[in-house]
């Protein structure tokens, strides 16, 4: 179809067709990024699950993991940045119905600042580790990006904001959430693998 159209329209057709293709790709990326931004927001509406220890677990951070494992580093990071922009604008889309600039002034804001990095690192691992074992790769990407990279930012931020020692910060801002985070990483691995099996072209981190 492309060659036939170029033949009928003359020498300038190739340039026009190339411009059209680039525009379509950009539009597709915008739609997908917006879709995953909405997914992160929607997961914030899922009722929290309280562990036996009494620690509440929300699903929103799993959306951050999925942005990376499904969209890849750049698109995943952009989806999270768009989500944070909406939070800044005051939309109550964080878990618990929170939003606005005030949420960035708490000791827990390090998690928000770490979200884009978490998605980027998870996506980068999916792009570089080309194994066919998608559950393993996506699960590992979710652990390294969605847990490791995230807490590498969130814990030091908590220490500075509260004046806590490293031990205190780990006990308060990291260790209690580990069981839930690892559960979400496992689920991310299987959800990503299921998506890859059902619609391989939709796994943009592997395109």
> Per residue in 7-60, pLDDT tens?
555 556 667 656 777 777 788 889 999 999 999 999 998 887 766 555 567 899
Average pLDDT of the chain, as a whole number: 89
CA distance 142 to 187: 9
pLDDT value of residue 54: 53
Q: Under 8 Å CB-to-CB from 71, ≥6 apart: which residues? A: 32, 33, 36, 79, 119, 123, 204, 205
pLDDT value of residue 96: 84
Mind listing the pLDDT tens digit for each residue in 90-116? 999 998 888 999 999 999 999 999 999
Mean pLDDT of all residues in 127-133:
95
pLDDT value of residue 71: 97
Residues of the chain with pLDDT > 90, as a percent, come to 74
Contact yes or no for 59/46 (Cβ under 8 A):
yes
Mean pLDDT of all residues in 69-74:
97
Mean pLDDT of all residues in 107-134:
96
pLDDT value of residue 27: 83
What domains sit in the chain, N to C, each tagged with a CATH number? Answer: 2-206 (1.10.1760.20)
pLDDT of residue 117 exceeding 80: yes
Q: Please tell me the chain's helix, strand, coil percentages from 3-state DSSP, rounded to the nearest 5.
A: 75, 5, 20
pLDDT value of residue 48: 77
5 pLDDT tier (thresholds 50, 70, 90):
very low
Residue 95 Ramachandran class (φ > 0 left, ψ -120 to 50 alpha, else beta): beta
């Amino acid at each position: 179809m492309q060659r036939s159209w170029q033949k009928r329209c003359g020498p300038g057709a190739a340039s026009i067709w190339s411009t059209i293709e680039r525009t379509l790709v950009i539009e597709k990326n915008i739609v997908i990024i917006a879709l995953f931004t909405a997914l992160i927001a929607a997961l914030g509406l899922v009722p929290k699950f309280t562990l036996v220890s009494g620690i509440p677990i929300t699903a929103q951070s799993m959306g951050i993991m999925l942005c990376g494992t499904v969209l890849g580093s750049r698109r995943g990071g952009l989806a999270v940045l768009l989500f944070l922009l909406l939070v800044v604008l005051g939309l109550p889309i964080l878990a618990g119905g929170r939003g606005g600039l005030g949420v960035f002034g708490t000791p827990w804001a390090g998690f928000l600042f770490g979200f884009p990095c978490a998605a980027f690192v998870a996506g980068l691992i999916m792009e570089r580790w080309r194994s066919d074992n998608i559950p393993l790769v996506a699960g590992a990407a979710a652990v390294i990006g969605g847990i490791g990279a995230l807490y590498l930012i969130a814990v030091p931020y908590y220490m500075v904001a509260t004046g806590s020692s490293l031990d205190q910060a780990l006990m308060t801002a990291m260790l209690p959430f580990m069981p839930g985070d690892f559960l979400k990483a496992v689920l991310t691995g299987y959800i990503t693998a299921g998506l890859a099996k059902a619609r391989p072209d939709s796994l943009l981190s592997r395109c």
